[in-house]
Structure 1
Amino acid sequence: MAASFDRGGLLVKRKAATERWLALPAAARDSAPLSGASDLGSEAEDREGDSAGQYLTVLCWVGLGLGTLDAFVQPLPPGLVWAALGLSYLTGGLPPLRAAVAAVWQDRRLDIDLLMVVAAVAAAAVGAALEGAVLLALFSLSQTLEHRALGKARRAVEALMQLRPETALREGPEGVVEVPVAELVPGDRVILRPGARVPVDGRVASGAGHLDESTVTGESAPVRKAPGDPVHEATVNLDGILTVEVTRGLETSTVAQMIRLVTEAQAMKSPSERFSDWFGQRYTIAVLAGSALSWFGFRLSGHEADAALYRSATLLVAASPCAVVISVPAAILSALSAAARGGVLFKGGAALEGLAEVRTFAFDKTGTLTTGLAAVTQVLALEGTEDDFLALTAGLEAQSEHPIAAAIRREAAERRIVPLAVGDVRAHPSEGITGTDAEGQVWAGNTRMLALTGAVMPPRLARLAEGAETLVLVGRGTRVLGALTVADEPRATAAEALRGLKAGGRTDVLMMTGDRELVAGRIGARLGLASDEIHAGLLPGDKVRLVDAASARGKVAFIGDGVNDAAALARADVGVAMGVAGSEVALQAADVALMADDLRKLAAARRLARRTARVIRQNLTLSIGAMAGLVLGSLFLELPLPLAVLGHEGGTLLVVLNGLRLLADPIRVKA
C-alpha cells in the first residue's frame, strides 16, 4: 500500500481527470477539453468546493470557539460544550476521514488526512478533546486556504478555455449569421468587429486593424494585421472590421494546443516531485509505525497510558510530512501557470527544472535568430527570362515551409508571376528541394545539392557564391538554370536575448546553420557572437553531433523554429520551439514552446526556472527543518499538541505561500 499526500482530495480529482484525458487517443484528446471541460474540474466546481469547505471550516471554528470560551473565559452548560466540540469534530473530521477512507478503499494508499484524524481521536480518547478540536480546526483552515491558493495555479487550463468565444459571425450566401464556433471549418469566412475575440485560427482576407495578442503570446503591444496575415484564436480585434478566413478547426487551434500542453505539463512530474513522492510514501508509513511504537517507549520511560497516548498523537502530528510533500508542487504549478500566461509553455516540471540547469544554448539561425522573413536581393537567369526562371522556382518552392521558400514566393507575387505546376516535391534537409514539372526533374538548393546532381558552378554565378547572402541555385539535371540570392535580418530582440542569457553566468551560446560561413558570419557579427560561437555549413546530423559535444560541458538547450530542427530538438536536454511561428513537428518535439517570436522570453523563462529552483530549495529547507524541530520537541520537551498543530499547519501554509510568489513573476508582464 502506498501513501498519498493529497490533503482532503485537493489534487486527487484533478490528477485523476487529467490522467483519464491523457489516456484518450490523440484525436479525441484535442477536442476533449472542449466538450468535457467538466472532467478537468471547471472553475465553477472549484468555487462550489471552496464555498462548501469555507462553510465547514467556519462551523468547525464556531464549535472550537465555544469550547475555548468554556475552558478559559466562562463555563458553559456541559451539554452545550459537548455539542460544540462534537460540531468541531464532525465538520473538521468527517471530510478528511471520508477522503482518507476513499484513498484506502479505491487507490490502496494511505492519505495524510488519516494521520490528522487519528491524532484528533487519540487526543479525545485521553480527555484532551479541546486539543483535538484545535488540531481539526487548524487543519480545516489550512486545507481551505491551500485549496484556494493552489487552485489559482491549477486553473491555467480553465483560464485558457475561457478565452474562447462561443459564437462567431459567419459570412455566407444568406449574409452574416451568428453560429457556434464549433461549427466553423477551414475555408469559412468570419467577420470580426472591434472588440471581438478571434474565434479560431485564420488569415485576414480583407480589412486591416490592430490585434491584442497578449493572451496567446504574452506580448502587450498591439500587432497590426493586413490581408494575408495570420490571426490566432482568442486574440482581440482592437479596431477596424476584419474578414478572416478560417485555416484551422477548433480541435487543432492555437488555444487547443496550449490547453493540451498545459494539461500534460500539470500531469508530468519533475525530478524534485518524484523525489518528494518517493520520500513521502515511505516516510508516512514510517510515521504511523513510529508513532505506534513511541507509545511503548513513553510507557517504558514512566508515562501513564493516557499521557503516552497524548504524546504519541503529538509526535504523529509533528512528524507528518505535509509541508515537505507540498513544497515542490506549490512552486512547480505556480511557475508553470505564470509562464503560460507570459507566453511560454513548459511540457512539465522536468522541463522547467532542466532549463534552470542549462549550460549551453544552441540556436538555429534561420527563423530563430533571424526574422525568417528573408527577401530576394538578386535574380540571375542563365536560360530564358527572369520571369520564367522565377515562375519555375516559385512553383518548386510552393509547398515548402522554409523561410527562403517564403521569400521566393513573395518575390514572385510582387512581380505578379504565376508559379508553374511542379509535382512530386521532396525536401532534402540542409541541401534543397527537388520536384518534377512537364519537362522532367528540377531542383533548387545550395552547393551540396549542386554536388549531388553532378552539376558544376557556372562562372557567371561565382561572384554570387562569394557574397555574404544566401545563394539558391536552380537547375535541371546537371544543367544550372540560374540562381538567386536571399538576405535575412536578425530579430530585433535576438541580440538583447543573447546578452540576457550570458548575463546569467557560466553560459555558452552557439549559432548553428546550414548556410555558408560568409552568411553566418554576417548575422553572427550583428548579434555580437564570437567566431568560435558560429557554426556554418551544417547538415541536420551535424547539429545533433554539436549538441552531443556541448553536452559534455553540461546540459544543452536547442532553440529552433522547427524546419530541419526536430532531431536536434529531441536530442537536446531541453528543446525550445518558437511555438506560434514554428512548425507542428517542432512543437511536439520540444520541451518548451515560445508562443511569441520574442527571444527575450527565453531569457525570462530561464530566470523563472532558476527562481523556481531557489524557491524549491527554500521550501524543502524550511519544511524539513520545521518538521525536525517539532519532532525533537515532541520527543524531549513535552511539546503540547496545539503547538505541534500550529507548527505543522503553519509550516505547510508558509511553503505554499512561498511557492505562490512565483505567480507574480515578471515573465507575465514583460520579458
Structure 2
Amino acid sequence: MKRSLPVDLSLVLSLATVLGMAMAVAGRWPAHELLGALLAPGLALVYLAGGLPTAWRAVSELWRAHVLDIDLLMIAAAIAAAVVGAPFEGAVLLTLFSISTTLEERALGRARRAIEALMALRPETALRRTAGGAVEEVAAGELAIGDVVVLRPGARVPTDGVITAGRGGIDEANITGESMPVSKEAGAQVFEATVNLDGVMDMTVTKTVGDSTIARMIRLVTEAQAARAPSERFSEWFGQRYTVVVMAGAVIAFAAFWGLGREWEQALYRAATLLVAASPCAIVISVPAAILSALSAAARGGVLFKGGAALETLAAVDTFAFDKTGTLTNGRAEVTRVVALDGDEARFLSLLAGLEAGSEHHIAAAIAREVRARGLEVAKVVDATARPGFGILGRDEDGPLWAGNPYLAEEMGARIDRHELRALADTAQTVVYLGRGQRVLGAVCVADEARPSSAAALAALRRGGVRRIVMMTGDRRPVALRIGGELGLAPDEIHAGMLPEDKVRRIAELTRDGKVAFVGDGVNDAAALARADVGIAMGAAGSEVALQAADVALLSEDMERLADAHRLSRRASAVIRQNLVFAIGAMLLLVTGGLFFDLPLPLAVIGHEGGTVLVVLNGLRLLSDPIRRPKPRG
C-alpha cells in the first residue's frame, strides 16, 4: 500500500488519539451531551488530522491510476459513521488508521534504510598525490581513474582502486561482511568505504565514486526493493480488485439490512462496520513487509538479491549446481610443475604468461604469480582472445599462440600424447598446454584447493532441505574427483570435462525435476547463470560482470553465506505464509462478526488495524536474522 503521513502530524495524532478515546467514552456517559459539546472542537481536529491525508491519498490514487484503494474504504466508513450519529466511532477509526499507517511507514522505512546506511560510511574527501609528489586533500567525487590516493591508518578508502605501494590490513566488513581484516599489498584490489587499519599505502583509482562497489550496491538494492516479487504483485492485484468487491458488498449489505426491517441508520452503521472488517490492509502489506526485511537483512550480510522474485525462487530451489574453480575452490591456484619440451622453462613461462595476461581466470593469476616469483619478463603477446571453456588465443612476433585444455589442443590438431606430457595427464591436477599451431611447446600443472568453507556450506544446504547437489567443471575427471571427494560429493554428483554449453544443457535437464540454482564466479559462467532458475555469483565485490549476470551476488567468498542466504529465503517464505494465513483468517472472523453478530465498529477497527500492525511486525522479525558473519579466528 502506498500510504504515508507527514512526520509533523505525529503530535497532532497523539492528541487525536486521546481525544478520540475520550469521545468514545463520552458517547456512553450520562453527561455525554455536555461532554460531547465540550469535545466538539477535538472531534473536528481528529477528522481533519486523520481524514484529510487519507482522503488526499485516496483521491490521488483514483485520479492517477484509476484505482479504488483501501484509503477510500476507511474514509467511506468514517463518513458513514458520522452520518448515522456515531462520530466518536468514526474518530477512533481515523485515529487508529492514521497511527497504524505511520507505524507501517516507519517500520518499512527501517527495512528500506538498512542498506542506505552505507551512504554514511562513504568518505567525503581523499588525499590525492599530485604530479610533483605532494599530497592534496580533495573531494572524493573529484577523483578520476588513474589518480593516486594516499591511504593513511584509520582512513576510509574513498573509492575502488588497486594498491600500488605499501602494505596493510583492510577491514572489509562493510562490503563482504568478513569480520577479520584482509592483508593488502601491491596489486590487491580495495573497495570504497573499507577501512585501512594500519600502514600507509598508495592506491590507484580504478573506478570513480559514481561507479564504485558501494554505489552499485546501493543502486542494485534500491532496484531490488522497487521490483515486485510474484507474491507482492499478486497481493497488490488482489487488494485493488478486492477493494471494489468490498465497496460493492457494503452497498449490497446496506440494502439487505434495510430491506430486512432495520432502520437506515443501523443498516448504514452495519455496512460501515463491514467496510472496515473486510478491508484487505493486512493482506496487501504482509508480503512487502517480509520481502523488504529479508532483502535488507541479506544485504547487511553481503548478499545482494536482485529483487523479491529471486528471494522467493531461491526458497523453492531443491537442486544446487556449482562451478568448481573459484567457487568451490579458493581460486588461488599454484603452479606445481612446468614441462618445456625444448628445455627452456624461462622462455616457455614468459610466453604463457604473456598470453594469459589478458585473462581474468584463476589459472592465469597462478601463472602470473609463478613468473613474478622467478623474476621473469612477460613476453609481448597481442590480439589475445578468450575461448570460454577452452583457453585463450593470441599472437607474438613469431606467429599465433594458444593455451588451454585438451579440447583446445585437439581443435588445433596438436598431439598431447608424448611421453613427457602423458605423465601430467595422469595426475589429479589441472593441466594447461601451450602451443603454436599443431606444435605443442609444453604444459604446466596447476593445483587448486577447496575453500575451507565449502564442505560446511554444502552440508548446511543438505540439512536445509536441498535434495541434490552437483559439481560441474571443465577439468579432467581425476581433478574433479579429488576436489569433490574433499567436499563430500559422491562420484555421480561430479560432472567433469564439461564445456560451457554442456553446463547449460545439464542445468536444463535438472530444471525438469524442480528449481535449480547455479553458483559460479560470474565471469566464465554467464550462460549457465542465466539458464538456471536462480544464478548466484560468488565473490562478486567489484565485479560488474558478476552483478549483471546473476540474480544473487555474494560479495564475500565465504561459501557459508550461500547456505545462510538459502535459509533466510526459506524463512522469508514461511513468514509470508504466516502473514497471509493470519490476515485472511482475521478478515474472515471480522466479516463473520459484522454480518451475523452485530460486531461494533470500534472493535472492527481495533481488529483490522491491530492485525495490520501485527503482520508488519512479524515481517520485520527478519531484520534481526541477517546473514551470519564468520567468527573471528583465533
TM beyond 0.5: yes
C-alpha separation in 1, matches of 2:284 and 2:306: 21
The alpha-carbon deviation at position 597 of structure 1 amounts to 0.1
Contact persistence 1:6–1:112 (CA under 8 A): no
Q: Choose from 67, 92, 98 the match for 2:50.
A: 92
Q: Choose from 319, 332, 341 the match for 2:300.
A: 341
Amino acid across the alignment from 1:493 = S
C-alpha separation in 2, matches of 1:568 and 1:379: 32
Decide which moves more: 159-168 or 118-127: 159-168
- Is 2:17 aligned against 1:57? no
- Is 2:107 aligned against 1:138? no
Decide which moves more: 314-323 or 264-273: 264-273
- Is 2:182 aligned against 1:223? yes
Contact persistence 2:522–2:550 (CA under 8 A): no
Corresponding pairs, count: 627
The alpha-carbon deviation at position 202 of structure 1 amounts to 1.1
**SS in structure 2 of the partner of residue 109 of structure 1:** coil
Contact persistence 1:455–1:479 (CA under 8 A): yes
**SS in structure 2 of the partner of residue 528 of structure 1:** coil
Q: Choose from 489, 494, 499 the match for 2:459.
A: 499
Contact persistence 1:63–1:87 (CA under 8 A): no
C-alpha separation in 1, matches of 2:74 and 2:234: 23
Q: RMSD across aligned C-alpha pairs, in angstroms? A: 1.6
- Is 2:231 aligned against 1:255? no
Listed as ranges, the matches of 1:289-328 within 5 Å are 289-328=248-287
The alpha-carbon deviation at position 63 of structure 1 amounts to 3.0
Q: Choose from 500, 508, 516 the match for 1:548.
A: 508
Q: Choose from 394, 404, 410 the match for 1:451.
A: 410
Q: Residues 472-527 of structure 1: CA distance to partner in whole angstroms, max 9, x if unpaired? A: 11111111111111000111101110111111234211110000011111111111
C-alpha separation in 2, matches of 1:255 and 1:156: 14
C-alpha separation in 2, matches of 1:374 and 1:174: 37
C-alpha separation in 1, matches of 2:465 and 2:13: 48
Structure 2 residue aligned with 1:125? 83
Decide which moves more: 205-214 or 482-491: 205-214
Structure 2 residue aligned with 1:188? 147
Contact persistence 2:43–2:88 (CA under 8 A): yes
C-alpha separation in 1, matches of 2:58 and 2:314: 37
**SS in structure 2 of the partner of residue 443 of structure 1:** strand
Listed as ranges, the matches of 1:132-531 within 5 Å are 132-172=90-130, 173=132, 175-383=134-342, 385-457=344-416, 458-531=418-491
Q: Residues 144-177 of structure 1: CA distance to partner in whole angstroms, max 9, x if unpaired? A: 1111111001114422322211111112126211
TM-score normalised per structure 2: 0.96
Q: Choose from 7, 16, 25 the match for 2:3.
A: 7
- Is 2:555 aligned against 1:595? yes
Amino acid across the alignment from 2:75 = V
The alpha-carbon deviation at position 67 of structure 1 amounts to 2.2
Amino acid across the alignment from 1:222 = P
**SS in structure 2 of the partner of residue 203 of structure 1:** strand
C-alpha separation in 2, matches of 1:639 and 1:542: 64
Q: Choose from 571, 584, 590 the match for 2:544.
A: 584
Return closer, same or farther for 1:208/1:578 CA change in 2, 3 Å cut-off. Answer: same
The alpha-carbon deviation at position 227 of structure 1 amounts to 2.3
Amino acid across the alignment from 1:395 = G
Contact persistence 1:495–1:528 (CA under 8 A): yes
Q: Choose from 113, 119, 126 the match for 2:71.
A: 113
The alpha-carbon deviation at position 186 of structure 1 amounts to 1.7
Contact persistence 1:335–1:663 (CA under 8 A): yes
C-alpha separation in 1, matches of 2:122 and 2:466: 42
Q: Residues 424-474 of structure 1: CA distance to partner in whole angstroms, max 9, x if unpaired? A: 111111111110110100111111111111111222211111111111111
The alpha-carbon deviation at position 77 of structure 1 amounts to 5.3
Return closer, same or farther for 1:174/1:521 CA change in 2, 3 Å cut-off. Answer: closer
The alpha-carbon deviation at position 583 of structure 1 amounts to 4.3
The alpha-carbon deviation at position 218 of structure 1 amounts to 1.6
The alpha-carbon deviation at position 242 of structure 1 amounts to 2.4
C-alpha separation in 1, matches of 2:497 and 2:313: 29
The alpha-carbon deviation at position 348 of structure 1 amounts to 0.7
User: What is the aligned-residue identity percentage?
Assistant: 60
C-alpha separation in 1, matches of 2:621 and 2:36: 46
Contact persistence 1:8–1:100 (CA under 8 A): no
C-alpha separation in 2, matches of 1:150 and 1:489: 43
Structure 2 residue aligned with 1:67? 23
Decide which moves more: 378-387 or 421-430: 378-387
Q: Residues 253-304 of structure 1: CA distance to partner in whole angstroms, max 9, x if unpaired? A: 1112211210111121111112212211211110011111211001011110
**SS in structure 2 of the partner of residue 311 of structure 1:** helix
C-alpha separation in 2, matches of 1:670 and 1:407: 27
C-alpha separation in 1, matches of 2:133 and 2:341: 53
Return closer, same or farther for 1:78/1:523 CA change in 2, 3 Å cut-off. Answer: closer
The alpha-carbon deviation at position 593 of structure 1 amounts to 0.3
C-alpha separation in 2, matches of 1:582 and 1:485: 29
**SS in structure 2 of the partner of residue 170 of structure 1:** strand
The alpha-carbon deviation at position 71 of structure 1 amounts to 3.8
- Is 2:606 aligned against 1:646? yes
**SS in structure 2 of the partner of residue 376 of structure 1:** strand
Return closer, same or farther for 1:651/1:78 CA change in 2, 3 Å cut-off. Answer: closer
C-alpha separation in 1, matches of 2:476 and 2:126: 48
- Is 2:589 aligned against 1:629? yes
The alpha-carbon deviation at position 586 of structure 1 amounts to 2.9
